[in-house]
């Protein structure tokens, strides 16, 4: 179910994506732009930039998000940085310090990724959520959808294994 963000939640988690050198990929650029516009419309929200640095990236994804948000006029005091995660689950886990105690969060990611990100928030962290649906670059949509199907398989396998252990 598509649940668009309306300013309900204090924390906005911007999920990281590929960085080319020190520049955001098109997918990440869309996430940053959507988050910046939302932050300007909702001055009470705090933003959590997430994402570590891959071996082929010149800078951590979260640091690129932070820099680009500030370039769009978002005050640095509203931005928290989690620059160690390598997956969507880790994005939430490693940024828990910032949102801990909140009943819900707004998730910013590309449209294809929103359902899985919201599922992770609910299953693993018992968080309510709404979302900002950044557009997916058309040339990358097929590749991302295939990756997303495989990520669902991995997520559900991990969840079943976790439940069996407990």
- Which structural domain, as residue segments, surrounds residue 17? 11-137
Task: Give the total number of structural domains in the chain.
Answer: 1
In a domain, 165, yes or no: no
Residue 89 sits in a domain whose CATH number is: 3.40.50.620
Conformational region of residue 51, where left means phi above 0, alpha means psi within -120 to 50, and beta covers everything else: left
pLDDT in tens, 22-51: 999 999 999 999 999 999 999 999 999 999
The residue ranking higher by pLDDT, 114 or 148, is: 114
- Evaluate whether residue 74 is within a structural domain: yes
Strongest mean pLDDT among 75-89, 123-137, 147-161: 75-89
Q: Considering the domain boundaries, does residue 33 fall inside one?
A: yes
Residue 106's nearest CA partner among 12, 34, 31 is 12
Report residue 69's pLDDT band, with 50, 70 and 90 as the boundaries: very high
**Span 79-124, pLDDT tens digits:** 999 999 999 999 999 999 999 999 999 999 998 889 889 989 998 9
* pLDDT over threshold 90, residue 161: no
């Amino acid at each position: 179910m598509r649940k668009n963000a309306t300013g309900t939640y204090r924390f906005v988690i911007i999920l990281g994506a590929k960085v080319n050198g020190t520049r955001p990929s098109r997918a990440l650029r869309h996430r940053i732009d959507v988050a910046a516009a939302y932050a300007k419309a909702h001055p009470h929200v705090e933003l959590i930039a997430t994402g570590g640095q891959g071996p082929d990236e010149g800078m951590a994804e979260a640091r690129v998000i932070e820099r680009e948000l500030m370039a769009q006029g978002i005050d640095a005091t509203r931005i928290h940085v989690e620059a160690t995660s390598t997956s969507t689950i880790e994005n939430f886990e490693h940024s828990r310090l910032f949102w801990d105690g909140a009943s819900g969060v707004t998730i910013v990611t590309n449209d294809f990724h929103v359902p899985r990100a919201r599922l992770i928030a609910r299953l693993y962290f018992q968080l309510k959520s709404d979302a900002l649906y950044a557009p997916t670059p058309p040339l990358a949509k097929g590749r991302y959808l295939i990756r997303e199907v495989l990520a669902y398989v991995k997520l559900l396998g991990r969840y079943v294994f976790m439940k069996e252990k407990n």
